Amino acid sequence: MEAGGIAEHGLLADGRTAALVDRSGSVNWWCPERFDAPSVFCRLLDVTGGHWWIRPTERSEVRRSYLPDTLVLRTVFRTAHGEVSVTDGLMLEHGARGHDIGLRSPGVLIRVVEGLSGTVPMEMSYCPRFEYGRRTSYLVWRDGELVATSGPTTLTMTSPVPLTCQGSEATARFTVGAGQRESFVLAYRPTFHEPVPAPVDGGDPLADTVEGWRSWAAHHDYQGRYPELVRHNALVLQGLTYGPSGAVVAAATTSLPEAIGGDRNYDYRYAWLRDFSLTLRALWVAACPTETNRLFSWVASAVGRIDGQPVPIMFGVEGERDLTERRIETLRGYADSRPVWVGNEAWRQRQLDVPGEVLDAAWRLREYLDPMPPEVRDLLRSLADQAAATWREPDAGMWEARDAARHYVSSKVGCWAALDRAVRFGDRLADAADLTGWAATRDEIRETVLRDGWNAKVGAYTGAFGSDQLDASVLLMPIVGIVPATDERMRATIRLVEERLSRGGLVRRWSEDPAGFTLCSFWLVQCLALAGERDRAAAMFENVAGVANDLGLLAEQVDPYTGEQLGNFPQAFSHIGLISAAWELTTARSEAVPTGGGS
């Protein structure tokens, strides 16, 4: 059985890591230790990569949904002989509530099979493959549990039905009648540590996990437009958050391709400062930002002293700096799209817009940074100084080009935003001399961008100084405020991006991009709203939001012709974009705090 397509999957999360389950009931991705740890199931990248499926033996119709305000997934299979549900969740620590979820998650995957009507024959196949499919393990019965150990990783399964083991695969056939419930539990632990605590006994082993997720959602009372969409997307962002540090990973997966058969297949299971900052801004709209001090303190700790060095753009979830890329030769890749990578060489890049993202997030959340921790103040000052010192230099840009460095317009805009927000902080951040210097440089950057970023022959702001290529990243200009969307040149740029890079509201980053980039699509929505075209912006928003799968999950990109989702999944950028666009459609541009945002 091949794994389902990218959008066929649902996300499970526990504040440490994520698992992906497809519509057929197969767990095709799980890295149990943390997001960027080696996998035990990666069928998503190769049929031999390991899986755990539970499904009817006969044909079935499938419907599925999350239990309300949770990331616990319920899949209902309707067969000729009855209906059965499989409810899947990654267990939260017993009693974890609110902002404490994910701090000490036990690494337990629970699958509850329940008969709804009739009698349904079922089958199960459990086949772990350790370290991205490179290592197998014999399955051994020990004290009534099925144990698989490979090097540092041990998995222990408890099953309510008899299992047949052959080599590294366990299978079962059983029937489920109406009212019958069977719970399967798979627990991870490091091989040379004490066993993890067993799940709490009871009729529903996921009940406490459900309450944990709902307690988090109860803190968030967004009351703008599209409240259900925003609430759910905020929950997805929480599912991509590593609880102990607060780091937000760009996506739950590695190496899902931007184009089938292409080689732009990168590992996104790391924390980019850009993504982290955009997430904070989105949660300012959708959720409760009361942990702002802790999260910015994590950034300060991860970045450390800059001392004139380039600002690090990304980290491991606990602040690791070295994310050296290596190729996994044992996996053929999703839909034969090679290579498969672990690590991401972008950690070595210079991207000049990053200070602007961090300072903009800090400015939006400024009331939660009062008093401002000294290490956060030092970080923000250093970022402003770096923007002022380096804005004239070329860089890799926010799309992380791996060829020549260029003078990207979006990078200069990011430097402008860094200094603009730093100046707004006033004496909370710096003395009068620094503020005066930052303000002068900010104004010089704006003048340069408006002069050198404009291409008269194209009739638009282009992606880099001297370039004739449109790039959707210039849509950030009115969003961050360097120029209003109603400006004549900006209006012309927005119109050309829509005409030449967009199809049905799905916006490619540049003309050669194979598919619409979901975040850019929501940027276009924001620009249209800022330009006063709110009805058209709302229609476009609904069209773009509608490309999400049946569980409201979005990948990085969408093929505008087929609707197929592409790239790593689910993608934080995409869900951030939806929240930000919904808020832009809710209110006129202002500095108002979102209604209900905060607890």
From the CB of residue 89, how many other CB atoms can be counted at a distance below 10 Å?
28
From the CB of residue 258, how many other CB atoms can be counted at a distance below 10 Å?
21
Residue type, 319: G
Helices 354-364 and 273-286, axial angle in degrees (round to 10):
20
Flag residues of the chain having pLDDT under 50: 589-599
Predicted confidence at residue 415, as pLDDT, reads 98
167 burial type by CB count under 10 A (0-12 exposed, 13-18 middle, 19+ buried):
exposed
> Can you tell me the distance from the alpha carbon of 145 to that of 139, in angstroms, rounded to the nearest whole number?
10
Give 324's DSSP letter: -
CA max distance for the chain: 78
Please tell us whether the domain made up of 217-586 is placed in CATH 1.50.10.10.
Answer: yes
What six digits make up the tokens of 397?
Answer: 């840009």
> Can you tell me the distance from the alpha carbon of 200 to that of 94, in angstroms, rounded to the nearest whole number?
8
CB contact at 8 A, 139 and 183 = no
What are the φ and ψ backbone dihedral angles of 226, each rounded to 5 degrees? 55, 50
> Can you tell me the distance from the alpha carbon of 516 to that of 519, in angstroms, rounded to the nearest whole number?
9
First and final C-alpha spacing in the chain? 46
Predicted confidence at residue 22, as pLDDT, reads 98
Predicted confidence at residue 6, as pLDDT, reads 96
Residue 51 pairs in a beta bridge with: 127
CB contact at 8 A, 12 and 20 = yes
Best CA proximity match to 264, nearest among 460, 466, 401: 401
Q: Hey, is 247 helix, strand or coil?
A: strand
CA dihedral 299, 300, 302, 305 (to 10 degrees): 150
What are the φ and ψ backbone dihedral angles of 328, each rounded to 5 degrees? -100, 100
What six digits make up the tokens of 293?
Answer: 């001090």
The domain locations on the chain are: 6-193, 217-586
- What does each C-alpha distance from 509 to 12, 36, 365 come to in angstroms? 30, 27, 29
Q: List CB contacts of 169: < 8 A, sequence separation 6 or more.
A: 125, 126, 127, 139
Give 473's DSSP letter: G
What are the φ and ψ backbone dihedral angles of 62, each rounded to 5 degrees? -120, 135
Predicted confidence at residue 591, as pLDDT, reads 40
Q: List CB contacts of 273: < 8 A, sequence separation 6 or more.
A: 299, 303, 311, 312, 313, 314, 315, 354, 357, 358
Q: For residue 420, give the H/E element and its range.
A: helix 409-425
508-527, pLDDT tens digit by residue?
Answer: 999 999 999 999 999 999 99
- In the sheet where 516-517 sits, what is the strand order? 516-517, 557-558, 565-566
Fold that domain 6-193 belongs to in CATH: Beta-galactosidase; Chain A, domain 5 (2.70.98)
What are the φ and ψ backbone dihedral angles of 116, each rounded to 5 degrees? -105, -35
Best CA proximity match to 570, nearest among 44, 11, 13: 11
Q: Hey, is 205 helix, strand or coil?
A: coil
CB contact at 8 A, 254 and 568 = yes
Q: For residue 239, give the H/E element and its range.
A: helix 227-239
CA 160 to chain centre: 35
Asked if the domains at 6-193 and 217-586 fall in one CATH topology, the answer is no
532-547, pLDDT tens digit by residue?
Answer: 999 999 999 999 999 9
> Can you tell me the distance from the alpha carbon of 482 to that of 127, in angstroms, rounded to the nearest whole number?
54
492-527 b/e with 16+ CB inside 10 Å = b?
ebbebbbeebbebbbbbbbeebebbbbbbbbbbbbb
402-461, pLDDT tens digit by residue?
Answer: 888 999 999 999 999 999 999 999 999 999 999 999 999 999 999 999 999 999 999 999
State the pTM of this model.
Answer: 0.94
37: left (phi over 0), alpha (psi -120 to 50) or beta: beta
